[in-house]
Structure 1
Amino acid sequence: MIALNDYLYSGDTVLRILQKYSSDLEQEAQKSHNEVDLLHCAFLSQIMDMLEHNDFLTAQSQKIREFYMYMAKEYPFLAFTFKGRIKSLIRAEEKFNGYIVEYIYDYYEKYHQFPSMEEIKKRLDCFRDLIAYRVVISLPQCHLKEGQDREKEELRYLYEIANVLPFFMEQRGFRVESAKGVRVSSSDMLKEAVRPYYRDYISNEGEYGYRSLHITFYDDTAKCYMEVQLRTKAMDDNAEIGPANHLGYEKRQENERARRDVIPVGECRCFDEAYERGMRLQKLELAKLDVNMFSAANNSLINDGCGLYRGRLILPYEHLSRFQSDLSS
């Protein structure tokens, strides 16, 4: 079985690693008529296209910047950041294989049989966050009126912004995508017209207290999907450096082992290979990898400027809140 791990010790750039891994995987898939691995190759090609031919990101980020300028005008009292990233290679590989393992396991547990190849391929079609932008807002204490609750006020502004975003982006060549019933919002602050598009992890809190609003767009110019996340600073802190960032490693390991026990080796090749690739990635010793521009003292201290382990940044904008005295004129 061909796995990404085998290509991470050559000293190559991330792009060359992707090219070699994808090429070898495609040759093997064609010999064995493995349709999932062929899909896997197409998925890797998307990442390569973003790294190698990223002119479209300049045009895309300019359109995102227009929403930034809109917010700066409408909410001068808010502090907020806009960030964009291409998902890291290791995280993308983990997620692709994780989707396969999770879907086959859940399907088998429910129906006591394995899903068809068409059903697996349909499940893999939902991977739409290779490009993601994040808007994080904060309401400075000096802008709160007496008796106002900061968290409630930030939440009100966040949903207000969420109500505007879909139509603003549609006017600039983006097509808003349905959330397909995932994490349907129960908040009365979200308008009915936009509710079907959002995955609401605020009114439907995720694991470890994860909270955020997620929405997916299709960029008609670039011919690709992108995700936008909306959060308050407190939500972002929890996701980046708080409990939601520590993914319950021991619990996850326990769940993975349980899935392996339910579906023994040899019962489903597609499951076996995705499971093995995922487990091998979890055991990577990052300090021993030899990849261009990547260095790691250990699995916690990492300097990644090449998009191997951490997403490659493509958009940093920051708006600092004005003081009350500036608004009075």
Structure 2
Amino acid sequence: MIKLNGYLYSGDTVIKILYKYMEDLKKSARQSHNPVDLMHSNFLLQMANLLEHNDFLTSQSQRLREFYKFMANEYPHLAFAFKGRIKSLIRAEAKFNGYVVEYISDYYNEYGTYPPLPELKDKLGCFRDLIAYRIVISMPKCHLKDGADIDKEEIRYLYEVANVLPEFLEERGFTAIVSGNPAGSAFSYLKESVSPYYKDYIANPSIYGYQSLHITFYDNCARCYIEVQLRTKGMDDFAEIGPANHLGYEKRQQDERARRDKIPVGECPYFDEAYERVVQLQHLELSRIDVNMFSAADNSLINDSCGLYRGRLILPYEHLSRFQNDLID
């Protein structure tokens, strides 16, 4: 079986690893007539294109910069940060195979059989967060009116920003994608015209307390999807260093993806291969990996300059807010 782990000890760059893994996976898929591995190979091609071709990323982030400039003019009393990342190769590989494991396992538990191949392939065509941006806002206390509740004020402004974002970006070559989620609760300040595009985890927090607004766009210039997350600083802190932090999220995903459940070994090759890849990735000793521009003292102390493990920063500029810099001129 072809798996990513076997390519991580050669001293190659991430791009070379991607192409070698992708080509070998495609060759194996043709020999074994495995359409899921062919989809897997095409998924890896998306990753390679993102890492290799930076011109469209610069164009994309500069168009998003226009929204930064809009915010700085409309809300000069707010502090805010724009961030961007490409999903790392290891995270993306785990997610693709994890989707295979989760979908087949859920389908088998419900129906006692395996999903039809067209349904499985359709499920694997929904990756829309390989590129993600985040807008984080904060109300400095020096601008807070006497008696005002800072959390309520920040949430109100966050929804204001969310309400204008879809139309603003659609004028610049993006198309907002309907989320498919049910409408938010009465608490939500989203306008009816934009509500269908958002996943509102503020009105409907996760069971772990995670709060954020998520919206997906299709970039018609770059021909790819992007996800935009909008948070207050309190929400961002809770998600990054609080109880809903990403390490905990990843650990829960690992546990979910590593479940064998009732599926017998050897009955579903798509499940068996994806399951083995997930388990192998979870047991990586990062300190032993030899990938150019990556090093790790252990599985916690990591210096990743190549986008192998952690999301790489893709914005060509740093943002704070108007009263903190003069970038607008």
For residues 167 and 193 of structure 1, the distance between their equivalents in structure 2, rounded to whole angstroms, comes to 10
1:254 shift after superposition: 5.3
Would you say the 8 A contact 1:215–1:227 is kept in 2?
yes
Which runs of structure 2 are paired with 1:1-329 in the superposition (5 Å)? Answer: 1-181=1-181, 184-186=183-185, 187-245=187-245, 246-247=247-248, 255-256=256-257, 259-315=259-315, 316-320=317-321, 322=323
1:296 shift after superposition: 0.8
The one-letter code matched in structure 1 to 2:319 is E
* DSSP-derived class of the 1:243 partner: coil
1:303 shift after superposition: 0.9
Q: TM-score, normalised by structure 2?
A: 0.93
* DSSP-derived class of the 2:83 partner: strand
* Structure 1 residue ranges without an equivalent (≥5): 324-329
* DSSP-derived class of the 2:80 partner: strand
Q: TM-score, normalised by structure 1?
A: 0.93
Identical columns (%): 64
CA shift in 2, pair 1:292/1:216, >3 Å: same
RMSD across aligned C-alpha pairs, in angstroms?
Answer: 1.7
For residues 48 and 321 of structure 1, the distance between their equivalents in structure 2, rounded to whole angstroms, comes to 35
* DSSP-derived class of the 2:217 partner: strand
For residues 121 and 24 of structure 1, the distance between their equivalents in structure 2, rounded to whole angstroms, comes to 20
CA shift in 2, pair 1:142/1:133, >3 Å: same
Would you say the 8 A contact 1:85–1:131 is kept in 2?
yes
1:256 shift after superposition: 4.8
**What do the CA deviations read for 1:275-308 (whole angstroms, capped 9, x no partner)?**
1111111111111111111111111111111000
1:167 shift after superposition: 0.4
Would you say the 8 A contact 2:98–2:257 is kept in 1?
no
Structure 1 stretches (4+) deviating beyond 4 angstroms? 248-257
For residues 263 and 97 of structure 2, the distance between their equivalents in structure 1, rounded to whole angstroms, comes to 16
For residues 179 and 36 of structure 1, the distance between their equivalents in structure 2, rounded to whole angstroms, comes to 25
The one-letter code matched in structure 2 to 1:65 is R
**What do the CA deviations read for 1:102-124 (whole angstroms, capped 9, x no partner)?**
11111112222111110011111
Would you say the 8 A contact 1:81–1:318 is kept in 2?
yes
CA shift in 2, pair 1:72/1:252, >3 Å: closer
* DSSP-derived class of the 1:146 partner: coil
CA shift in 2, pair 1:34/1:217, >3 Å: same
CA shift in 2, pair 1:119/1:109, >3 Å: same
1:252 shift after superposition: 5.5
